[in-house]
Structure 1
Amino acid sequence: MAANQQVKKMMQGAFVLFVASLIAKILSAVYRIPFENLVGNTGFYVYQQIYPFYGLGMTFALTGFPVFISKLSAEQSTEQDRIQLLQQIFVILSVFAVGIFAVLQIFAEYLAVAMGDQQLAPLIRSVSWMFFLMPMLAVGRGYYQSQLNMVPTAISQVSEQIVRVTVILVVAVLTVRYNWSLYKMGCYALASATVAAIAASVVFAPFYLKRFFKKNKDTTKFSYVNLSQRLFTEGIILCLFASILLLFQLVDSFTIKKTLVVLGQSDLTAKITKGIYDRAQPLVQLGLVISLSLATSLFPTLTQAYQQHKIKQFHKTARLGIKISLILSAATTVGLISLMPQINQLLFKTSELNLTLSLYCLSIIFVTLINSYNAILQSINRYQITVSGLILALGVKISCNTWFMHLFGIQGASLATVLALMLGLGLILLLLPRQVKGYLKDPKLFWQLSIGLVLMLGVVKLSVLITSGWISSLDARMQAGILTLVGSVCGAVIFIWYLLQFKILTIREWLTLPGGKKILKLVQRKKG
């Protein structure tokens, strides 16, 4: 009975965290659209150049380290041991945070020069202050997650995003109103990270005031050396996985603008081009929202099935997860690519670098499948395989970015991203243990899916072509909005019809999809 209660609590916690994560991801993607509209391509470039530093810090504080800390904390038999462990981890993370802060403060000029823009140095120093809050957030989240209480974690995650997005958009409005320089705007916008981290930390105040600061008899019960080794191997591995796209963005920050200047663009044109290239980030994030959330929600179910030796259920769930992830991510990617000129115009005022952005959107498929396989591998404690794939992917991105740009221009950066993720996924599939191989070995599914995607692409393009003739007198952005809406609806309807007509998904699989139950009811009504 107690075991069932534990499982029920875990599933409820996973759902709470899933909803919070979904809200945070949507906020993180959506705010960049009005922000870019307010500050322009150059302003977006200024912000995006330094954004990966914030992203990595928040990955340490809100995702990577908390998961590992919760695991260590849950292993302790008494509350006193748990608090002692957390106190020592807090000390280690504090030293780490001060180290990162010092490096960013001292070497800000060097890092800015390495990015090809010395004016970015104050922005690097601005974002560095948030690292002081990292130990408090990581330990607080880790503690509550070990207790299977995900509510404080969820509140901290959502409140951090709401506060940060609000500050950033207020700064963007003030920049336009008072004609601030774009670099001043960047400093204030990135300072939002520290303000947001403080707001997120307030959620954990009860834990720190009532439990954490109690004195313990043994102040060094656990070995600092051993804890540090585990924290900076297993913990960092979790951080690496959660931040792969951020690391790719960091590579872009250090290579794209400089390479564009070498290729003959003026300094200002290179900044504008990089700003337009960075439009891909919110598009990909929005494309990943549903598929990544699906992978997150699968993890507790897979872990539970594996731990209870329900191997048949485990394989059924894993195979279903991979299949749905592939279908959703492929449909999202093709939809974005087919409507890229219109989406680009609608969201960002101009339709530029459509091919570059379309190529980048292909990464949605590979990131989704990597995440889904990671959920499967984590559930059987074989996460090292995913890490191997991600290290390869990062190595390929670093090696190819500048080289590909010399060959293909700005499109080369998108190609390097897609190739890196493709090879990373390939290595993961190659290294998969026998027990979880074969989930993607279904030629019939690939053929059926390919035909459905081509059909959807054709219908979208045809609907856009027909509709554009009727609305040619309207403003360009208004046209883009109508064409995006019409194309999206037509594409979604024809793709869903195709899936139903050829029974590519079973009824059980439809019920797993967001909104699947409503779609099935609608179809049954029409048949009736």
Structure 2
Amino acid sequence: MAKDSLIKGTIILAVAALVARVLGIFQRVPLDYILGESGGASFALANNMYLVLLVVATAGIPSTVSKMVSERVAVGKHAEAQRIYQAALRFGIITGVIITVGLFFYAPFHARYISKLPEATAAIRALAPALFFFPVIAMMRGYFQGRQMMMAGGVSQIVEQILRVGTAVLFAFFLFNANYADPVVAAGASFGGVAGSLGALGVMLYYARKLKRMDIAENFASKQTDQGADKLPFKQIYKEIFKVSIPIVLVGLMVPLIYLIDGSIMIALTENQIGYGAAQAAVDIIGLKAQSLAGIPPILAIALSQSILPVIASAYAMRNSGEVARQSSQALRISLFTGVPVVIAMVVAARPINNLIFAEPTGIDYIALLTFGTLFQIIMMTSGSILTGLGKPRIPMRNVFIGIGVKLAGSFALAPFLDVYGILIATTLCFIVVTTLNLISLRALVDYNVLGGRWTGFLSTVVLAAAAGWGLERLTNAYVPGGKILHNLISCAVVGGAVLVAYAALLWLFRVVTAQEAANFPAPLRKLINRILRFAGKSLPAPTKQGQ
């Protein structure tokens, strides 16, 4: 179980997140057919509440554990790192009990009085037991990330999603065929989260035993440079953990909280303009379709945010300012280069994607608008994680508070005029504000360089790739034959493939990506580029030492 580099760790987490996201969408396809509007809205609300509480229970402490462990290991305090891990596990057990019981009893109040969807109570309660296990799972993932070993978290995430999706679909199908009411079917689908959490816990326990055997063989704990660290008081550890973790929790809460806000205020703010039935349908469409698809573009940014934090924290602990600047620039550049083409492709191909996956051709505009906003969410997440790795977690926390204020103000101001669209536009404005504030704050701390003087070429690339994709989508919609599945499958393949090829070619044409930068890409990607360049009788230069 060797350490994973930034690129390798990011790829592991990104692949795991992509598999999890695809499985999550797969779950929504049969549920879209099985659940009515009431059941769909109930499942979406329960899922959003679950994601918010999952962040509260897991996101802050594990990220803090990752940071604290990587800092200790970097300077030889191995026994102290293990003591932190023990403290985190104890906290995870207590947190799991509190949140599970609290959600079970709070569910009726939120469903009836906050969301005006009382039938969602059963679906929310069905997810509560999953939160009993996840805090411990998350603490273990945080420790492994702090040791820069990402495989355990990646495998557990995939197993979790397979069991969650399989159980959700099977339970929903069984209850539907047994003629149970829509809210009961939605509760059965929600219970899949419990099966997923049990599977993830089993995987983490397997990797924990494997790491323990490796540490014993290597005498890991005895490599402590400061004596007495194994007696480090838990009180002191928790003080440091909470100092860092509370801001991380609030930052990690942002996206699921905004999605929960949308589902909770949608009916109240739009029913006078479009009617209660249409407003409930919008909650169903946005929760089951738009939010699940909009979660695809930030996948790599989420993985990068998790893997960059211990890397930045370790370099910062060693007072290596040059490495901090290099890794920060690299992380922002990777986020930008990889996130933008996915956003472009999904926005211009929103119609065939929606029609291929889901039962009804509704909500295309919602999908496109919410997905466009993730363009800024990607940079927001990466920059916030870098700031946290630099020991400045309060800066992104402050910016998140400002962004949520913009989101609420924008929703209440725009909904009376633009109904659902106004609420989604306010979400994008929120991401833009937080991203801008994060980058300004980061500039004061790190001399990072994303593209330098190449922004004109990059923006030209984005505009031209989007125009090409939009034009092809119009053409395929008008002229590609076939039934629903074949027509939309061809359209998705043509539009998505054209956007990605045009984007890569234009980056090269406008010299946004230099030959030396391409030479420092991961080895598989370098080999692919070299094979393409052979047709022109060219090849990439040798990678630098840092890029190898």
TM-score tier, shorter chain, comes to 0.7 to 0.9
Letter in 2 for 1:19: I
Task: Note closer, same or farther for the CA distance 1:233–1:285 as it changes in structure 2 (3 Å cut).
Answer: same
Task: Note closer, same or farther for the CA distance 1:311–1:139 as it changes in structure 2 (3 Å cut).
Answer: closer
1:47 alignment counterpart: 43
CA shift at 1:419, angstroms? 0.6
Q: What TM-score do you get using the length of structure 1 for normalisation?
A: 0.84
1:449 alignment counterpart: 458
* Structure-to-structure mapping, 1:263-342, within 5 angstroms: 263-267=273-277, 269-278=278-287, 279-299=289-309, 301-303=311-313, 305-308=315-318, 310-342=320-352
CA shift at 1:296, angstroms? 4.3
Matching residue within 387, 412, 426 for 1:416: 426
Letter in 1 for 2:408: I
Task: Note closer, same or farther for the CA distance 1:40–1:403 as it changes in structure 2 (3 Å cut).
Answer: farther
Letter in 1 for 2:49: F
* Residue 485 (str. 1) matches residue 493 (str. 2): yes
CA shift at 1:505, angstroms? 0.1
1:387 alignment counterpart: 397
Gaps of 5+ in 1: 1-7, 212-219
1:103 alignment counterpart: 102
Task: Note closer, same or farther for the CA distance 1:184–1:17 as it changes in structure 2 (3 Å cut).
Answer: farther
**1:248 is paired with a residue of what secondary structure?**
helix
* Separation of aligned partners in 2, 1:306 and 1:232: 20
CA shift at 1:226, angstroms? 5.4
2:248 alignment counterpart: 238
Task: Note closer, same or farther for the CA distance 1:369–1:82 as it changes in structure 2 (3 Å cut).
Answer: closer
CA shift at 1:51, angstroms? 0.8
* Structure-to-structure mapping, 1:118-157, within 5 angstroms: 118-145=118-145, 150-157=150-157
CA shift at 1:335, angstroms? 2.0
CA shift at 1:166, angstroms? 1.6
CA shift at 1:400, angstroms? 2.9
* Separation of aligned partners in 1, 2:503 and 2:84: 52
Task: Note closer, same or farther for the CA distance 1:433–1:520 as it changes in structure 2 (3 Å cut).
Answer: closer
Gaps of 5+ in 2: 213-229, 538-548
CA shift at 1:169, angstroms? 2.4
* Separation of aligned partners in 2, 1:32 and 1:324: 25
* Structure-to-structure mapping, 1:22-101, within 5 angstroms: 22-33=15-26, 34-40=29-35, 42=37, 43-60=39-56, 63-71=59-67, 75=72, 89-101=88-100
CA shift at 1:178, angstroms? 3.6
Letter in 2 for 1:117: L
CA deviations over 1:271-318 (Å, ceiling 9, x no partner): 222121231222222112234434545455545554555544543443
User: Is this contact kept in 1: 2:6–2:307, CA < 8 A?
Assistant: no
Task: Note closer, same or farther for the CA distance 1:263–1:86 as it changes in structure 2 (3 Å cut).
Answer: same
Tell me whether 56-65 or 128-137 shows the greater mean CA deviation. 56-65
* Structure-to-structure mapping, 1:115-194, within 5 angstroms: 115-145=115-145, 150-194=150-194
CA deviations over 1:15-56 (Å, ceiling 9, x no partner): 457514531343234432424443356243221111123223
CA shift at 1:63, angstroms? 4.2
User: Is this contact kept in 2: 1:38–1:176, CA < 8 A?
Assistant: no
CA shift at 1:158, angstroms? 2.7
User: Is this contact kept in 2: 1:18–1:296, CA < 8 A?
Assistant: no
CA shift at 1:385, angstroms? 1.9
Task: Note closer, same or farther for the CA distance 1:41–1:508 as it changes in structure 2 (3 Å cut).
Answer: farther
CA shift at 1:322, angstroms? 2.3
Aligned CA-pair RMSD? 3.5
**1:116 is paired with a residue of what secondary structure?**
coil
* Separation of aligned partners in 2, 1:419 and 1:302: 29
CA deviations over 1:374-403 (Å, ceiling 9, x no partner): 343234222322222222222322333243
Matched residues, percent identical? 18
Task: Note closer, same or farther for the CA distance 1:454–1:149 as it changes in structure 2 (3 Å cut).
Answer: closer
User: Is this contact kept in 2: 1:457–1:491, CA < 8 A?
Assistant: yes
User: Is this contact kept in 2: 1:61–1:137, CA < 8 A?
Assistant: no
Letter in 1 for 2:400: L
Task: Note closer, same or farther for the CA distance 1:44–1:19 as it changes in structure 2 (3 Å cut).
Answer: farther
**2:297 is paired with a residue of what secondary structure?**
helix
**1:263 is paired with a residue of what secondary structure?**
helix
User: Is this contact kept in 2: 1:295–1:375, CA < 8 A?
Assistant: yes
* Separation of aligned partners in 1, 2:414 and 2:49: 24
**1:31 is paired with a residue of what secondary structure?**
helix
User: Is this contact kept in 1: 2:480–2:487, CA < 8 A?
Assistant: yes
* Separation of aligned partners in 1, 2:386 and 2:332: 9
User: Is this contact kept in 2: 1:62–1:157, CA < 8 A?
Assistant: no
CA shift at 1:104, angstroms? 2.0
CA shift at 1:353, angstroms? 3.2
2:512 alignment counterpart: 504
* Separation of aligned partners in 1, 2:440 and 2:140: 38
* Separation of aligned partners in 1, 2:461 and 2:494: 19
Task: Note closer, same or farther for the CA distance 1:292–1:138 as it changes in structure 2 (3 Å cut).
Answer: closer
**2:266 is paired with a residue of what secondary structure?**
helix
User: Is this contact kept in 1: 2:465–2:502, CA < 8 A?
Assistant: yes
CA shift at 1:480, angstroms? 2.1
CA shift at 1:221, angstroms? 6.7
